[in-house]
Structure 1
Amino acid sequence: MSEPGAGRGLGGLLASAALARAFTLTVFGTVFGSVAIERMAGRVTYVTIVTGLCVIAAGMLAARRREISFVRLVPTTLVLFVGWAFASIFWSSDATRSFWGWVSLVGVALLAVTIGHVRDTLQTVRALGDVMRVMLGVSLGLEILSGILLDTPLTFLGIQGDIAAFGPIQGVFGTRNLLGFAAVLALITFLVEYRTQSVRPGVSLFSVVLGGVIAVLSDSPTVVVLAAAVGVAAGVLAVVRHATPHRRTTLQWIFGAIVAIGLVAGYIARHPIIAWLGAGSDFSTRANLWASILIYQRMKPVQGWGWFGPWAQSELPFWAVNFSAGQSHASGLNAYFDVLLQLGWVGLVLFLAFAGFAFLRAWLVASERRSIVYAWTPLILVALLVDSMFESFTLWGFGWLLLVVCAVRAAQSRSWRDRFDDAENGGSALPHVPGG
């Protein structure tokens, strides 16, 4: 990585560490603050900012072209998934909207790929931690202003002002579920900061308390599930990390089998679990929507209806799904169902391969490397993939941004591309995971 001030002129600036840090902070701030930006300044403003960042990202990658191996630039499975989404434009009901939906997908992915190459894992964690402290702090401040000091909703931000009744609150994220999701991601980041001692203990304590308070006040049913999933994953990872190398593989298989059994048991006992979480109405809403999605998915099972990203509610099949469900939704409330509807079984297989290889690589790296910072990537992926069962946040916005960042970071450590390095250097890299 280039040192600060390396080189002169525009090329030196684009390759500098100072710009890389500023770029990462700006990208996280922009994408995590997209709802607030759009509601205060409009969609055009947000798109303009992201477009400018994409231009800078392309310039940074070009300036660092001697440092970055072309074959390591992007995971193969990401290329295949994005490529299939582009192909779907040709059978979409509205090619223009599909094209711009695809451009949005690629634009955020470009920002994520750039962060993955100009910042290491610890630097990424620190940048995200700094941004989330501001985002959650502003959210809590605005909720206090709305619900306690002014006692009136801030409708232009979607804040209902219910903090005096202990929630639900929305903050600058627009909905309680998105706020709760962001709070869980922030808590993972804050705890990794604490374990790596990358910020002062007082800042760490404040951050964790802030994240915990926001998560509770969001009153999002998915927060409990996410917290439980991440907590279990963290405990399992700790056991694996402390095992001797010759026992580690056995433990991995044992825990993998336990997870599989747990998923089956969770599905069988889903109704008591839903009742215990008090999420019966939420799940009923989702169940009706998913049933409607499957009806229209069967009409185009292999290729799907075309990629749009967030639903264009005036287009087929989205208005028909909402009409059939008797509701109005801007997504499938499940990333996997959303991909299945828009990109068919081919798209879903590619998405699962992309996310699955990313998680597998990240988990294996975290289980072998000594530094706790490597645990951030698989734990963030656990949160993203579990939340994808209840929301479609992982397919756009900061969910998609973090998914691609984590996939790029994991692919840099374990990849079939290591064979090229072995051939060139005559050495051996970490055991690779075949695939994307």
Structure 2
Amino acid sequence: MAVHTKHPASTPPAAPVREKTGHLMLRGWCIFVLFTALSGTAWINAIGELPTAVMTIASGVLSLGLWFAVRPPVQWRRLPWFTMAYVLWAGLSLIWSQWREATALTLLLLGITTLQALFVGSVLTWREVIRAISSALKWVLALSLVFELWVSLFVRVPLLPGFVPRTEPVDPILYWSRNNLFDDGRIQGIMGNANLLGPVALLAIVVFAVRFAAGAPRRVLLGGWIVVAAYLFYRAASATAYVAAAAVVIVLLTVLLMRRARRPGERTRYYLGFAIVGLGGAAAFWLLRDAIFAALGRSSDLTGREMIWQAVLERAVERPVIGWGFSTPWITSDPAFDRWILDHGETVMQAHNVWIDVFFQLGAIGVILLGMAYLAYIWRSWFFAVDRPRWDLDADRPYSPLTLLPTLIGAILLVQGLAESSPLLLWGWLFLVMFPFKIKQSPHMGEGAAELRIAIERGELTTRIS
């Protein structure tokens, strides 16, 4: 006859492990940091340059304080050294800079962005980093759509920075919002620039799709966010973002093919095949650029980009080794930049090409250092994506869709850098620092001292977070 006991041998039931409040607040702060980087010039358009500068400096100081308080495990010998060397060279340019005030101001922005990238990468695990990026992108997309809807429904005229309605027509380049939501014009979101909104919307599509494939919770809602991002991507109508989207598709297909390789030498054939296709595609794109850009509604000179490139290169070759001095972006109030190159009557703030801009500011040495930083990023993120996770004798662990993200973002940054200088600051620079740093610190998602230590501190060991 069975006998019931009041002292069972099994573990008594317990409430599920919950994240500590402190870690939730820390992750919330990281989301704000990422939102600030992804929202571009939104803060300047909303509250002005001085309050934005104060907020940026204060956020850097707070992140530094939190970093010392949390003290996450960091292998200091495994920093992204080429990126750090570029930052150091930019700092040294203060010695010979022809616009020292602009150099000092933009160096502060570069330093804070680099600090924030290292901070986020060190205090969050891989899955938390991707989840935080996803949350920040949702805020950017939602606020952009609500902002454009508010302008169209209540303001009903184009809006200038500072929430100033404009009834008299001015050059559209000055508008924060052009009130185009209900017509066929381009929309600009909270950034006030369609060429900034387009790549961010593309980034959102990539991040949301990767999380969807990884089995993140609330996938129906995540699918809705993909639709919102796709709509904003389409309405931004950025030619650069369209080309970047094509590059993302090509890189994704290549990675998935590489993951299917089973025999030695099989990847070599794939590499050769895609190299031939890539070179042929690039040649065809260059030869047919007039027809392609006409189909995209753009001129063959990328809407005046060639004129800007020519003017910058003419000045850059005068000091080809060390450059004229760091300033990213160009500070238009400085006499050296004020009225130098005009676009629609306004002073241009960038060279609209990463490599030309760096050559102008930091010379050939700066180009080499940045090229090495990009090469290291692409190299590490590529094998992070195509190699099966392995740190012991088990060679059959499944691939994670999340490991695709760094290399796909690298494709966006490389293509965007051909027509914009924005990858040199804000979210472009933050990701260029954060992802190589994170890969070097934690080469396998969910494994390693940094990943496990953070999991322990938040109250769990190996609980999966999507």
Asked whether the two chains share a fold, i.e. TM above 0.5, the reply is: yes
Most deviating of 181-190 and 130-139 = 130-139
Contact 2:80 2:433 in 1 (8 A): no
Alignment-derived partner of residue 425 in structure 1: none
* Corresponding residue SS for 2:145: helix
Contact 2:73 2:122 in 1 (8 A): no
Listed as ranges, the matches of 1:61-76 within 5 Å are: 61-63=67-69, 65=71, 67-72=73-78, 74-76=79-81
Shift of 1:124: 1.5
Listed as ranges, the matches of 1:16-415 within 5 Å are: 17-63=23-69, 65=71, 67-72=73-78, 74-156=79-161, 158-244=176-262, 246=264, 247-280=266-299, 283-315=302-334, 318-319=337-338, 321-322=340-341, 328-369=347-388, 370-412=399-441
Contact 1:359 1:381 in 2 (8 A): yes
- Partners of 2:252 and 2:198 in 1: CA distance: 19
User: Higher RCO, 1 or 2 (CA under 8 Å, sep at least 6)?
Assistant: 2
Q: Structure 1 length as normaliser, TM-score?
A: 0.86
- Partners of 1:68 and 1:232 in 2: CA distance: 34
Closer, same or farther in 2 for the Cα pair 1:350/1:220, shift >3 Å? same
Across the aligned residues of Structure 1 and Structure 2, the Cα RMSD in angstroms comes to 2.5
Contact 1:236 1:255 in 2 (8 A): yes
| Aligned amino acid, residue 63 of structure 2 | A
Closer, same or farther in 2 for the Cα pair 1:315/1:145, shift >3 Å? closer
Contact 1:296 1:321 in 2 (8 A): no
State the identity as a percent.
Answer: 27
Shift of 1:315: 4.2
Q: Structure 2 length as normaliser, TM-score?
A: 0.80
Closer, same or farther in 2 for the Cα pair 1:324/1:210, shift >3 Å? closer
Which structure shows the higher helix fraction?
1
Unpaired runs of 5+ in structure 1? 6-12, 416-436
- Partners of 1:245 and 1:409 in 2: CA distance: 30
Contact 1:34 1:46 in 2 (8 A): no
- Partners of 1:149 and 1:326 in 2: CA distance: 30
Shift of 1:114: 1.1
Closer, same or farther in 2 for the Cα pair 1:66/1:38, shift >3 Å? closer
- Partners of 1:160 and 1:195 in 2: CA distance: 36
* Corresponding residue SS for 1:91: coil
**Larger radius of gyration, structure 1 or 2?**
2
Unpaired runs of 5+ in structure 2? 1-17, 164-175, 389-398, 445-466
The one-character-per-residue Cα deviations of 1:182-215 (angstroms, maximum 9, x if unpaired) are 1111111111111112231211111110000001
